Amino acid sequence: MLLLVRFAFLEATASMFRPMPRPFTLLWVAMLFWQLGVAQAAESQCFGTVSNGRIEDSVKLPVSGPNFAAYSTLGATAGRTHIHSKVSEVIVSAYAALAVADPSVTYVYGETGWPSGGRMRPHRTHQNGLSIDFFVPVRNKAGKSVPLPTGLTNRLGYEIEFDANAKYEDYQIDFVALSEHLYQLHVAAKAKHVGIALVIFDNAFLPKLFSTPRGPYLQQNLPFMKGKPWVRHDEHYHVDFSVPCKPIPL
């Protein structure tokens, strides 16, 4: 039975990244925004903070698109990829811009939160619909952009450890793609009047990130955590967005 589950997971994951013809990319984006608008009659309302909060009327992120996919169909089905509606719009807009700029690059997003928020173990935040993990974009030995393998054997990607050279097995972190993603997130957030409150990424890799063409912009415009997080953030980067939230009723 376990082998069947693993096979089904691998089949579902592989299907996410079958290339979509470029002429369909913009059409897909338009249809996706229409579907989001139909599905979300009311804007989400967050309460409290990312570390002590909840959310009403959250939305589930799309499982996949032309250049991105969720870390796990199992995780998405379990309800671990819900987020604030305005943040969802930012994320989808950024992916759309990336697909137009360079459709050959593949991105993977990780966990966000429960449909109603609250504690989602093992995360300390992710409670009010404003937090999301993004797995690092990588290239294989041939230099091709491929999804980081997020499977049952590595706790859906969260147990992957990159070495000091930003390598894991045959995979190398694509810092140019990573920096472009953060740039497009910031641009999309500004356009939709959403703030970015915090970005967490492994401090040892920040010099490599800041040496990319988008590096100076990221240093000037994004609030990177200066201290050391409670767990290493090398295989993924964490982003907390900022929208007005109501206090938790006493």
Question: Which tens digit of pLDDT belongs to each residue from 179-197?
Answer: 999 999 999 999 999 999 9
Q: Which two tokens stand for residue 109?
A: 């997003």
User: Which 3 state secondary structure label does DSSP give 7?
Assistant: helix
Tens-digit pLDDT profile for residues 70-113: 999 999 999 999 999 999 999 999 999 999 999 999 999 999 99
For 18-41, how does the pLDDT look when each residue is reduced to its tens digit (9 = 90+)? 444 554 455 445 445 444 443 455
DSSP 152: G
Place of tokens 């009311």: 42
Topology of the domain comprising 2-36+61-242: Muramoyl-pentapeptide Carboxypeptidase; domain 2 (3.30.1380)
- Give, in order, the Cα–Cα distances in Å from 158 to each of 71, 198, 242: 10, 20, 25
In one-letter notation, the amino acid at residue 230 is: W
| Strand ranges inside the chain, DSSP E | 45-49, 52-56, 59-60, 68-70, 82-83, 107-109, 131-135, 138-139, 145-146, 167-168, 171-173, 195-200, 236-242
Asked whether residue 242 carries a pLDDT value surpassing 80, the answer given is: yes
CA atoms within 13 A on the CB side of 22: 8
pTM of the full predicted structure? 0.84
Mean pLDDT of 124-131: 96
Edge-to-edge strand ranges of the sheet holding 236-242: 68-70, 107-109, 131-135, 236-242, 195-200
User: How many whole angstroms separate alpha carbon 17 and alpha carbon 3?
Assistant: 22
Q: Which residue has the tokens 């230099």?
A: 143
**pLDDT at 208 exceeding the cut of 80:** yes
For the ranges 94-98, 120-124, 136-140, 235-239, the lowest mean pLDDT is seen at 120-124
pLDDT value, residue 34: 41
Compute the distance between CA of residue 161 and CA of residue 147 in angstroms, rounded to an integer: 15
**Residue 121 or 38, more confident:** 121
Residue 154 sits at the vertex; the CA angle it makes with 234 and 143, to the nearest 5 degrees, is 60
Residue count of the chain: 250
